[in-house]
Amino acid sequence: MSVSKTVALVTGGSRGLGRDIALKLAAQGTDVIITYNTRKEEAFAVVEQIKHTGVHAVALQLSTENTGAFPTFFTTLTAILQTDFHTDRFDYLINNAGIGLHMAFESTTEEQFDLLLNVLFKGVYFFTQQALHYTRDGGAIVNLSSRLAQSGVPGYSAYASMKGAVETLTRYQAKELGSRRIRVNSVAPGPTATDFGGGIVKDNAQFRANVTALTALGRVGEPDDIGGVVAFLCSDAARWVTAQRIEVSGGMNI
Ligand SMILES: NC(=O)c1ccc[n+]([C@@H]2O[C@H](COP(=O)([O-])OP(=O)(O)OC[C@H]3O[C@@H](n4cnc5c(N)ncnc54)[C@H](OP(=O)(O)O)[C@@H]3O)[C@@H](O)[C@H]2O)c1
């Protein structure tokens, strides 16, 4: 019996967690379309790496805060799905692209707030709304949240609020899209060593030590810790899992 090919769309797949998610999906035989914001070369390097594993991959530019550009993005995507992937639908959408800004509640500006709102929440909301036209019934959506949505680290009030909104949205999407058998879950990583937030988890020894002390498994996260969990949610083994928040933090603040 031949197994039909699946296709995933991973936003922010040029580096960090999105790159690892794309690689883990490819490792389970899923073709992957990644998006990048500005780092085209990194994205193309990920595509080459994925192609070496024997599945197909493509990179497209996307700015998640630019909702006005979404229709053009999906017109391009539709053409690529047909020419490169021989289908008119993808199976999995991973809303991963994001940024982190660290600033005290009292000094957060409206401009900073709006940037986080647009990239992390409004963009995810309307990108997914349009993506649904091209998502296969029976597919899955994974929204990247954060450990920070649950417990406080001073300086992340706006960022964490957007991730809290993403978790609420996830449950509503799961409810409303269940009739199409589309499962929707959120994955909430703890501090993970990427370029996120100016590379604070990767490069700041004091921050790493603080996180390590708060984490049951005694270290900060690495991108390789995260992608496999997302790939699991995009597999048949997770066919009865929806509306869940899965924390992937090594047991932080327990
Ligand atoms: N790392 C952590 O500690 C951590 C913890 C919890 C949750 N998260 C979440 O995990 C996700 C990925 O974070 P990461 O650590 O992998 O960050 P990262 O290494 O900085 O990578 C960010 C990715 O998002 C893309 N991106 C950034 N701004 C964008 C925009 N305006 N529109 C579209 N794409 C954009 C980047 O594209 P370019 O490469 O082209 O710039 C890149 O692919 C984010 O949603 C973040 O909030 C991260």
Structural domain includes residue 215: no
Q: Which of 72, 74, 101 is nearest to 9 (CA)?
A: 74
Structural domain includes residue 207: no
- In ligand 1, the atom with minimum distance to the C-alpha of 64 is 32
Q: Which of 106, 99, 215, 196 is nearest to 157 (CA)?
A: 106
How many angstroms separate the CA atoms of 202 and 219, rounded? 12
Structural domain includes residue 218: no
Token pair for residue 190? 């703890």
The amino acid at residue 224 is D
Residues 46 and 13: beta-carbon distance below 8 Å: yes
Overall domain count for the chain: 1
How many angstroms separate the CA atoms of 181 and 238, rounded? 12
Token pair for residue 177? 């899209």
Residues 147 and 191: beta-carbon distance below 8 Å: yes
| Span from the CA of 195 to the centroid of ligand 1 (angstroms) | 8
Residues with CB under 6 Å of ligand 1 are: 12, 14-18, 36-39, 42, 62-65, 96-100, 119, 144, 146, 189, 191-192, 194-196, 201
Angle separating helix axes 40-51 and 16-27, nearest 10 degrees: 20
| Span from the CA of 59 to the centroid of ligand 1 (angstroms) | 15
Residue nearest ligand 1's atom 42 by CA: 12
Q: What is the mean pLDDT of each run of 10 residues along the chain (254 residues)?
A: 77 98 98 98 98 97 98 98 97 98 96 98 98 98 97 90 98 98 98 96 96 97 98 98 98 94
Structural domain includes residue 172: yes
Strand-pairing partners, residue 33, are: 9, 58
Structural domain includes residue 90: yes
pLDDT at 3: 47
Structural domain includes residue 102: yes
Structural domain includes residue 30: yes
CA atoms within 13 A on the CB side of 57: 29
CATH of the domain at 123: 3.40.50.720
| Span from the CA of 100 to the centroid of ligand 1 (angstroms) | 8
Catalytic residues: 159
pLDDT at 1: 38
Residue nearest ligand 1's atom 2 by CA: 192
pLDDT at 65: 97
Structural domain includes residue 17: yes
Which residue range is the domain that position 133 belongs to?
7-189+226-244
pLDDT at 151: 81
From 10, 14, 17, mutation site for ligand 1 pocket: most ligand atoms within 8 A of C-beta: 17
| Span from the CA of 8 to the centroid of ligand 1 (angstroms) | 17
Per DSSP bridges, beta strands 31-36 and 57-61 are: parallel
